[in-house]
Amino acid sequence: MKKTISRNIAIVSAIFMLTFSVMLITNYFQVSCTNTAHPELIENLKQANEELGNNPQLQEQIRELDLMARRAYFVSLYRLKTGAAILLFMAMVFVVSLRLYFANSKNIPNKEVDPIDDWMIKSKARKWMVLAAGGVVVGGFVFALLSSPYIKSFEEGKETSLEDVLVETIDIEEVVVDKVIIDEIAIDKAPEESPVAVAVEVPKTTHSGFRGNNSLGISAAKNMPTSWNLSTGTNILWKVNIPRKGHNSPVIHGNKLFFSGADDDARELFCYELSSGKELWRTAAKNISGSPSKMPDVIDDTGLAAPTVATNGKQVCAIFSTGDVICADMEGKQLWAKNIGVPDIHYGYASSLLIYNNLLIIQYDTQNKPRVIALDVATGNQRWEKERPEKSPSWSSPILAPVNNKPQLILIGNPGISSYNPDTGAPYWRVACLSGEPAPGAAYVNGIVFGAAEYATMVAINALDGSILWKNSDILPEIASPVACNDFVFIATTYGVVATFEAQTGKLIKTMEFSTEFDSSPIVADGKIYLICTDGKVFIFSAKGDFTLLNSFETGEKTFATPAFTDKKIVVKSEKVIYCVGEKD
């Protein structure tokens, strides 16, 4: 009687457990498939809501769905927990009833599995053991051999057949012949070339990106001419037409000059010889996966090649409005090219590149997903990426501020001026104070970061903690970036006013007004401030004392780009031509 009851209980609990665990497993999969309380759908809807603008219907839908999802998540969690407890309880009932059922039954098997012969069992076990161990050994060996690198190189070695060997020997002979010829040529040429090599003095001062090294607007170059004339050719070493349109600025490394250009036909990076103005090489961005077939719509003020290229002396990188980034070595060999996503910026992409050690920093403040990206210059692999909480795209370019010998990457956006660790992208500080679509990059001197944008404000920030030192909204630059040096900060506006402020206090030192527009950024070099207005008139101010205008003269070429400086030479890129200023020997 008792036995029957326990048997029945056991059967019932077993059936219950089976069905219940099936249910539980289904529930488990439901939970683990959605995984989080937030299904993809809601996330997508939320993103759509952010892009669309005010849409009360959508918002209502999101709210409802969100509530439902959360409720479902917690309910299924609760179900799983209670389900597990119930299952466990039933398992206990099952075990107990089973035990009771079998309580008094002696287990006496009527048939012996093994013969009662110890030695036979042992012999059999030995046989199995040897077989199993042998199998494992053989299997292990085969696996180890197949996966070992030796066999791979062996296989590769085997493929080189006799023909290959023959070809190889022929190749070697050819190479030897070539080498001999080259040697002969070298011997022939050597006496001629060596005086030329002496004559071409490779400038040591680099101008490695937009607004010079670290994009700070300060050049270490010395002894540049303070006047030149394009029509008479005074102090003009060479002048050539630019091969392809682009508002980007020139960049100098050694005797090489880099800039980019793009139109509907091609997007190219150019390298010219600084001493002669001859084209050394060019490389185009083409056949890049993800690159759009149709050029994005941009306004003429931006163009397709507004960002300035950047170099570190080993590689040179360029970016175009299509989101194509290309990198070449100094000899023009393209190392890598990739598309980092077509930027959705209604006026076109304009932020210049910056190279820090082996990282290529790209300020990618697009409409959808403002972010800053660091790529490995040598390989193009992404090192880090940080999303930026900006409201709109910006034209601004990153700078690298050497704060206490620890570089900070400073980016300007709407509304934030942000500082990052350039190695990792970890944010240091952020000051939200700007508005509109800022174009000027930041300036830095003596622990102070300056940021400014037209219709917003100009602000000086302590680079150590991100606290605001002073603000001024009287005179604001729209396109040209400010430059800070020693104890002043200098700005040039689109309505023709240039102004100098005290760096520490923000006190206005001097203003001057000219009836022109400044788009090109000022550069401090050799104790002077060089500035070119859009009509091409050059202004040279003293960078100390009362900031007097030392010289000003017309060039006659419309100029938007910022010139590049190296010892004794200035390279100016105007709308149509690029020319090198320097004293002729």
Q: What part of residues 400-429 is at the interface with other proteins (CB under 8 A)?
A: 423-429
Question: Minimum distance from CB of 297 to other proteins (Å)?
Answer: 23
Candidate segments 96-104, 450-458, 509-517, 552-560, binder of other proteins by CB under 8 A? 96-104
Burial zone of 221 (CB within 10 Å; 0-12 exposed, 13-18 middle, 19+ buried): buried
> Residues 41, 75, 121, 177: which binds other proteins (CB under 8 A)?
121
Candidate segments 129-137, 166-174, 404-412, 510-518, binder of other proteins by CB under 8 A? 129-137
Whose Cβ is closer to other proteins: residue 256's or residue 430's? 430
Q: How many CA atoms lie within 13 A of 424 on its CB side?
A: 5
Q: Do β-strands 523-525 and 218-219 pair in parallel, antiparallel, or remain unpaired? A: parallel
Question: Minimum distance from CB of 441 to other proteins (Å)?
Answer: 21
Task: Decide: is 389 part of the binding site for other proteins (CB under 8 A).
Answer: yes
Whose Cβ is closer to other proteins: residue 129's or residue 190's? 129
- Chain length of the chain: 585
Question: Minimum distance from CB of 75 to other proteins (Å)?
Answer: 13
> Residues 8, 26, 35, 551: which binds other proteins (CB under 8 A)?
35
Task: Decide: is 102 part of the binding site for other proteins (CB under 8 A).
Answer: yes
Task: Decide: is 128 part of the binding site for other proteins (CB under 8 A).
Answer: yes
Whose Cβ is closer to other proteins: residue 36's or residue 234's? 36
Task: Decide: is 286 part of the binding site for other proteins (CB under 8 A).
Answer: no
**Strand arrangement, sheet containing 458-462:** 443-445, 448-452, 458-462, 468-472
Site for other proteins in 327-346 (CB under 8 A): 338, 340
Task: Decide: is 18 part of the binding site for other proteins (CB under 8 A).
Answer: no
Cβ-Cβ contacts under 8 Å for 474 (sequence gap 6 or more): 508
Print burial letters for 265-292: b (CB count within 10 Å at least 16), e (below 16).
Answer: eebbbbbbebbebeebebbbbeebeebe
User: What is d(CA 37, CA 74) in angstroms, rounded to the nearest whole number?
Assistant: 8
User: What is d(CA 546, CA 190) in angstroms, rounded to the nearest whole number?
Assistant: 53
What is the DSSP code string of 308-363?
Answer: PPEE-SSEEEEE-TTSEEEEEETTS-EEEEEE------TT---PPPEEETTEEEEE
Task: Decide: is 382 part of the binding site for other proteins (CB under 8 A).
Answer: yes
Task: Decide: is 49 part of the binding site for other proteins (CB under 8 A).
Answer: yes
Residues 33/107, Cβ–Cβ less than 8 Å: no
Task: Decide: is 107 part of the binding site for other proteins (CB under 8 A).
Answer: yes
What's the CA angle centered on 264, arms 262 and 268, to 5 degrees? 30
Q: How many residues bind other proteins (CB under 8 A)?
A: 83
User: What is d(CA 308, CA 352) in angstroms, rounded to the nearest whole number?
Assistant: 5
Task: Decide: is 37 part of the binding site for other proteins (CB under 8 A).
Answer: yes
Whose Cβ is closer to other proteins: residue 369's or residue 528's? 369
User: What is d(CA 450, CA 438) in angstroms, rounded to the nearest whole number?
Assistant: 13
Candidate segments 124-132, 164-172, 217-225, 401-409, binder of other proteins by CB under 8 A? 124-132
Residues 370/350, Cβ–Cβ less than 8 Å: no
Task: Decide: is 113 part of the binding site for other proteins (CB under 8 A).
Answer: yes
Whose Cβ is closer to other proteins: residue 99's or residue 278's? 99
> Residues 1, 2, 57, 106: which binds other proteins (CB under 8 A)?
106
> Residues 23, 41, 75, 125: which binds other proteins (CB under 8 A)?
125
Per the rule left: phi > 0, alpha: psi between -120 and 50, beta: everything else, 339 is beta
Question: Minimum distance from CB of 474 to other proteins (Å)?
Answer: 27
Whose Cβ is closer to other proteins: residue 66's or residue 535's? 66
Candidate segments 77-85, 152-160, 294-302, 475-483, binder of other proteins by CB under 8 A? 77-85
Count of helix runs (H) and strand runs (E) in the chain: 6, 33
Residues 414/371, Cβ–Cβ less than 8 Å: no
The mark string for 140-159 relative to other proteins (x by CB under 8 A, - otherwise) is xx-xxx-xx-----------
Q: Shortest CA distance to 237 belongs to which of 247, 246, 229, 249?
A: 229
> Residues 8, 15, 40, 63: which binds other proteins (CB under 8 A)?
63
Whose Cβ is closer to other proteins: residue 108's or residue 299's? 108
Question: Token pair for residue 440?
Answer: 């000027």
Site for other proteins in 459-488 (CB under 8 A): 465-466
